[in-house]
Amino acid sequence: MKIDVSVKKKLYLAVVRFRHVLAARTAVANHTPGTATEQCVASLLVVWLCSVQVRPQTLLTMNRARVLSYMLSQTPPGTSLVTVRAWLLGGKRGKASAPPPPTALAAEPFLNGSSSNYVEEMYSAWLHDPRSVHQSWDTFFRNASAGARPGEAYTSPPSLAEPTPHHVPLSSIAPAVISPAVSETQITDKVIDDHLAVQGIIRAYQARGHLIAALDPLGIDREALAERPPTTMPSKIVVRNYSNAVDESDMERLFKLPMSTFVGGKETTLPLKEIIKRLEDAYCRSIGVEFMFINSLEQCNWIRQKFETPGIMAMNQQDKRLLLARLTRSHGFEAFLARKFSSEKRFGLEGCEILIPAMKQVIDRSTSLGVESFVMGMPHRGRLNVLSNVCRKPLEHIFTQFAGLDAGDEGSGDVKYHLGTYQERLNRVTNKNIRLAIVANPSHLEAVDPVVQGKTRAEQFYHGDSEGNKVLSILLHGDAAFSGQGIVYETFHLSELPEYTTHGTIHIVVNNQIGFTTDPRMSRSSPYCTDVARVVNAPIFHVNADDPEAVMHVCNVAADWRHTFHKDVVIDLVCYRRNGHNEIDEPMFTQPLMYNRIRKLKPVIDLYAEKLIKEEVVTAVEAKEVRDKYEKILEDAFTAAKSETRVFNKHWIDSPWSGFFEGKDPLKASPTGVHEDTITHICKRFSSAPPNASDFQIHRGLQRILSSRMEMVKARTVDWAMGEAVAFGSLLKEGIHVRLSGQDVERGTFSHRHHILHHQKVDKSQYNTLANLYPDQAPYTVCNSSLSEYAVLGFELGFSMTNPNALVIWEAQFGDFNNTAQCVIDQFISSGQSKWIRQTGLVLLLPHGLEGMGPEHSSARLERFLQMTSDDPDVLPAFSNDFAIRQLSDINWIVANCTTPANLFHILRRQIALPFRKPLILMTPKSLLRHPEAKSSFDAMLEDTEFQRIIPEDGPATQNAANVKRLIFCSGKVYYELTAARKEAGIEDKIAITRVEQIAPFPYDLIKQECDRYPEAELVWSQEEHKNMGAWSYIQPRIATALNHERHISKCDKFAIDSEGHESQSWYEYWFPWLFPTSSPTEASIPTKNQTSIVSDTRVLRYAGRAVSASPATGNKMTHTREVKQLLEDSLAL
């Protein structure tokens, strides 16, 4: 089968002339340099790709044969590729090319002219073995050999893919051309060009119609656009030059509508004028839809259908009245507060009152689709309104927050526009009970996003809602924060990860086109504030907030989208801010023109009421009645609130743990030790290959690790990884869900954990040992996270808020990375219970220790966590039997640095054994993971054992306590270095070394006991961290307090007025001590090195460790070694 060279040439020229294909060809030719034939094939391919929206790159990786075969396999049944040929042979309008040569080949469907080399190859292969070519080629050659007439040899192959309801067949590109009624000989260039132009116009509206939509109630965006050069005007950008192909004379002509549009409704053809009008209505009025970047044809079609279908936005009268009533409440609430508390900040919603009906619409619609619980996060703007009108928080609770009343319960409280809430109520529209939570948040904008996601995920997890049909997260954003805060991006990237997805979040942006005093042109570089959402292919619905019905439509579509595709979606409420940033701010200082315009605008409630009155949906009297009725509700609540004398923080809990605290002794923890059988069983499983080991091939290195673990089991010992595994396994056995999340946690950064075993030959075949310990155990989740700390830590915090009976752990890759999550640590974990009386038992595992690895990866910044603890260094709590647990109950978090696997086991289990929940900040080791001495016997985990807050010296020094010369306190891995050096120096009987395992709350009682045990010993605090870091600053005053019962060395104390009104020490006594000799030792009178501080009348505490430094550790190995040597010498030299 030979192809005439002249035909090939003409065909190629036709391809090149054809402008759409030309553009596409250029794109592909950039990637596929090659012959004309290849380009031709590539052009065809791109035409096809355009029709089915497959990324060309996907196919560029394939060779030609595969590409064509793939094309054929994907082309919908019934599609004739003759269409494409017709296109290719066409020319530009007005410059009609010569008709294709009337040869049999030229008249054949497109494959005959696409590539002679290729066809020849196929043909020879087919002659050799018909089964060696694709079925379509087989049919073609069979028909051609049988003498089929031109154009009839080709039959489209059966599709390999299941046809989808919204699949757009290739025929939709130029339907007129392939209409059976139109024979090929009738195809003129004009027909082709005009249909292509119409197709181009339709597509242009779909892709760029949002650029000319009337989104801004202020009209500012339009004016900014008017300043642009004409070629960049949106109207030009939208339709580009497609419209050059058709003109006014074509407006009344009927065009057959492609299947890529739904504007026709039931019509298959429409006059061009009507097509354009309908497109304008769908894409360029109050709604701007951004969705054509989505990589799924099905999803794109779904959206097209939701906006293009004629009449789809129409609203019935009842819904209009409901909308008016909701707007009335939204407006009335702010107006009432403005009247009653005119000088109070409330961050009102004026200018975006539509937010309330919008949220309610999303909730109504989602409830009707099966959602039962909504977890929401939002910033300050309109928060009180949302609490009242969306969540139905009692108005009295809100009004009392303005009254400046005393708190009636625990907690330091928070400002009213940061508080959370949890409400259960009946959704009147659907008559279903729903749960609504607004998560409390700090001022730090968007920080709550991942927390909401974690809480949502947890609710879904514990309700067995694996597809997110019952629990939905809604996140509200300000325009400036949405584009400005990186956490938004980090949170978006959790949205599709298997262990982090919430199966779609509905985002609503209150886009008032300003952030505090900054215009968008100064606050972002992207065209829209919502562009960040494009990274996850979320559709974005921009909508003019002054068109309430349009807003309701996008809310419905957003809820439906989330229900259908379980993916994120964004509603961008383009609005304005009627007042300043808050009610006492003057906006005219900075945005005079904008605010001149705002002052002339009527509130949306007035606009909408007028509209409905005009449409005779309501009367003016009815509209007023609705307002008056709500006004009365507000007044009544206001009066009732006046009789309140206290505010209660408990009214604002966002995650109530009903049943958790009830009936528990608040100061009694359960034991943490377990039965030996449990330890043995877990350890054996943890040391074994999967049960189907013969099929499941694990890595050889892992086999060695498992064997060495089994050796430990025989010796009844555990190392770090095994101690952790026994803690997890025993909790799982008791029905406690364990979730460990963070970067590379499945294997463990230091390759010590290996909780997921991977089949070496089969992809995605893996085995989670701890999830398979007992038949009726709780689930075990271990998941490698995205490379984020801020979002992932926030997420785990949120997860931990849902269920107190779960151990939720976030592990940092190295401890120092926790500082990129500082906001979550400061604003939520450290202070959350105090501000919002919300507890969490979240555990942070922070690898910490100076191992000579340089400034990074050495310090988890222990000092910062200690500095934020809420225990008073100067107050010694009363010693009692429940001293330890009382301390735990009182403090904001626990900070520990364990040195043994058994202590790790106990402290992890204690998180669940406590009758309350506290965050645990755990410094974890690196070299100790494999240190031969950092092992524990099973004995240390048995039933009668518990967590040791300190591990006292247990060597020869204890036999000779009275003569021990030095008592060293230390924490963490330096202990092993100190004991090794002490042993080498042969001074084990002279120096006692005691480990402080729980640093905060400080074990005053045990520290005092230790000091008393060695009465003659010099006290030394030895640490590897630099002096201005580590635990020294925390330890020093507390040891003093432990020994003194109270402390006298603070400089402030020296000038304090005592209870009788006398200065305890005057400033001149302090500054000139030699003039005023004193019998009691003071800082200035004791001749010591500056590393020493007085901790009692008789004892001093010396610091042994590195000097102060700006950097956490040296980057020089030699210096590191020298520093270690010096540290050991300082600590041990007698």
Ligand X SMILES: Cc1ncc(C[n+]2csc(CCOP(=O)(O)OP(=O)(O)O)c2C)c(N)n1
**Measured distance CA(891)–CA(913) in Å, rounded:** 17
The reply on whether position 515 binds ligand X by CB under 6 A is yes
- Nearest residue (CB) to ligand X, 827 versus 945: 827
Determine which residue in the list 479, 811, 816, 946 makes contact with ligand X, applying CB under 6 A.
479
Residue 510 is a binding residue for ligand X (CB under 6 A): yes
Contact in structure between 453 and 536 (CB atoms under 8 Å): no
Instruction: Write the binding mask 355 to 384 for ligand X: x where contact by CB under 6 A, - elsewhere.
Output: --------------------------x---
Q: How many residues bind Mg ion (CB under 5 A)?
A: 6
Q: Which is nearer to ligand X, 577 or 917 (CB)?
A: 577
Any contact of residue 349 with ligand X (CB under 6 A)?
no
Helix 189-208 to helix 82-89 angle (10° resolution) is 100
CB-nearer residue toward Mg ion: 41 or 514: 514
Query: Is residue 443 involved in binding ligand X (CB under 6 A)?
Result: yes
Please report how close the Cβ of residue 378 comes to Mg ion at its closest, in angstroms. Answer: 13
The least CB distance from residue 823 to ligand X, in Å, is 8
User: What is the residue type of 65?
Assistant: A
Contact between 517 and 588 (Cβ < 8 Å): no
Select the residue whose beta carbon is closest to ligand X and give its number. Answer: 478
- CA 712, CA 710: separation in Å to the nearest integer? 5
**Tokens for 495?**
């949205």
**Minimum CB separation from Mg ion for residue 387, in Å?**
20
CB nearer to Mg ion: pick between 512 and 802:
512
At closest approach, how far in Å is the CB of 401 from ligand X?
19
Query: Residue 158, preceding bond cis, omega within 30 degrees?
Result: no
Based on the shown chain and the rule CB under 6 A, indicate whether residue 465 belongs to the binding site for ligand X: no
For residues 470 and 536, give the distance between their C-alpha atoms in angstroms, rounded to a whole number.
Answer: 22
Of 234, 332, 478, 1037, the one binding ligand X by CB under 6 A: 478
- One of 72, 259, 481, 964 touching ligand X (CB under 6 A): 481
Region of 382 please: left (phi>0), alpha (psi -120 to 50) or beta.
Answer: left
**Min. distance of Cβ 481 from ligand X in angstroms?**
3
Question: Which one among 514, 736, 773, 978 touches ligand X, defined by CB under 6 A?
Answer: 514
Question: Applying CB under 6 A, does 451 fall inside the site for ligand X?
Answer: no
Q: Which of residues 574-593 bind ligand X (CB under 6 A)?
A: 577, 581
Largest Cα span, the chain: 124
> Which region among 211-219, 508-516, 693-701, 840-848 touches Mg ion (by CB under 5 A)?
508-516
782 binds ligand X (CB under 6 A): no
- Can you say whether the dihedral through the CA atoms of 1015, 1018, 1024, 1027 is positive or negative? positive
Of 56-64, 437-445, 907-915, 976-984: span binding ligand X (CB under 6 A): 437-445
CB of 514 to ligand X, least distance (A): 5
Of 270-278, 514-522, 549-557, 792-800, which segment contacts ligand X by CB under 6 A? 514-522
Count the Cβ atoms, other than its own, within 10 Å of residue 663. 7
Question: Going by DSSP bridges, is the β-strand pair 287-290/421-427 parallel, antiparallel, or unpaired?
Answer: unpaired
Residue 998 DSSP code:
E
Binding partner selected for residue 360 from ligand X, Mg ion, none, CB under the kind-specific 5 to 8 Å limit: none
Partner whose binding site includes residue 516, from Mg ion, ligand X, none (CB under 5 to 8 Å by kind): ligand X
Angular region, 453: left φ>0, alpha ψ -120 to 50, beta rest: alpha
For residue 126, the surrounding DSSP H or E stretch is helix 116-128
> Three-class SS of residue 123?
helix
Interacting span for ligand X (CB under 6 A) from 14-22, 94-102, 507-515, 938-946: 507-515
* Token representation of residue 764: 């995605």
Task: Please state the closest distance from residue 613 (CB atom) to Mg ion, in A.
Answer: 31
Q: How far is the CB of 353 from ligand X (least distance, A)?
A: 13
Q: Should residue 216 be labelled a site residue for Mg ion when binding is judged by CB under 5 A?
A: no
Half-sphere exposure of 634 (CA within 13 A, CB side): 22
Q: How far apart are the first and last CA of the chain?
A: 100
- For 20, the enclosing helix (H) or strand (E) is helix 19-31
- Which option in ligand X, Mg ion, none does residue 381 bind, with CB closer than 5 to 8 A by kind? ligand X
Report the site for Mg ion in 935-954 (rule: CB under 5 A). none
Pairing label, strands 1018-1026, 1100-1106? parallel
- Would you count residue 241 as binding ligand X (CB under 6 A)? no
The nearest distance, CB 587 to ligand X, in angstroms, is 11
Distance CA 548, CA 607 (A): 10
Window 454-493: contact mask with Mg ion (x via CB under 5 A):
------------------------xxx-------------
The answer to whether the CB of 995 falls within 8 A of the CB of 896 is no
| Residue 516 engages ligand X in binding (rule: CB under 6 A) | yes
Both tokens assigned to 264 = 């026709």
- Residues that bind ligand X (rule: CB under 6 A) add up to a total of 15
Residue 512 interacting with Mg ion (CB under 5 A): yes
Stretch that binds ligand X, among 331-339, 461-469, 473-481, 989-997 (CB under 6 A): 473-481
Q: What is the DSSP letter of 691?
A: T
Among 512, 802, 839, 936, binds ligand X (CB under 6 A): 512
The piece of 442-450, 651-659, 828-836, 977-985 that touches ligand X (CB under 6 A) is 442-450
Contact set for ligand X, span 597-636 (CB under 6 A): none
Selection from ligand X, Mg ion, none that 444 binds (CB < 5 to 8 A by kind) is ligand X
| Residue tagged 């949890």 (tokens) | 422
Integer Cα distance of 337 and 737 in angstroms:
45
Q: How far is the CB of 512 from Mg ion (least distance, A)?
A: 4
- Count of residues making up the chain: 1134
Sign of the dihedral defined by the CA atoms of residues 865, 871, 872, 878, in that order? negative
How far apart are alpha carbons 381 and 250 in whole angstroms? 50
> Beta strand 432-438 with 421-427: parallel, antiparallel or unpaired?
antiparallel
Binding letters toward Mg ion, positions 646-665, x by CB under 5 A: --------------------
- Consecutive H or E run containing 306: helix 297-308
Give the DSSP letter of residue 603. P
- Which amino acid is it at 152? E
Inter-CA distances, 1115 with 850, 858, 1119, Å: 11, 10, 8
**What minimum distance in Å lies between the beta carbon of 442 and ligand X?**
8
Q: Going by C-beta distance under 8 Å and a sequence separation of 6 or more, which residues neighbour residue 903?
A: 936, 940, 947, 948, 951, 997
Task: Sketch the per residue contact string, 7 through 36, with ligand X: x for CB under 6 A, - otherwise.
Answer: ------------------------------
For Mg ion, which stretch binds (CB under 5 A), given 505-513, 683-691, 854-862, 949-957? 505-513
Residues in contact with ligand X by CB under 6 A are 381, 443-445, 478-481, 510, 512, 514-516, 577, 581
Residues in contact with Mg ion by CB under 5 A are 478-480, 512, 514-515
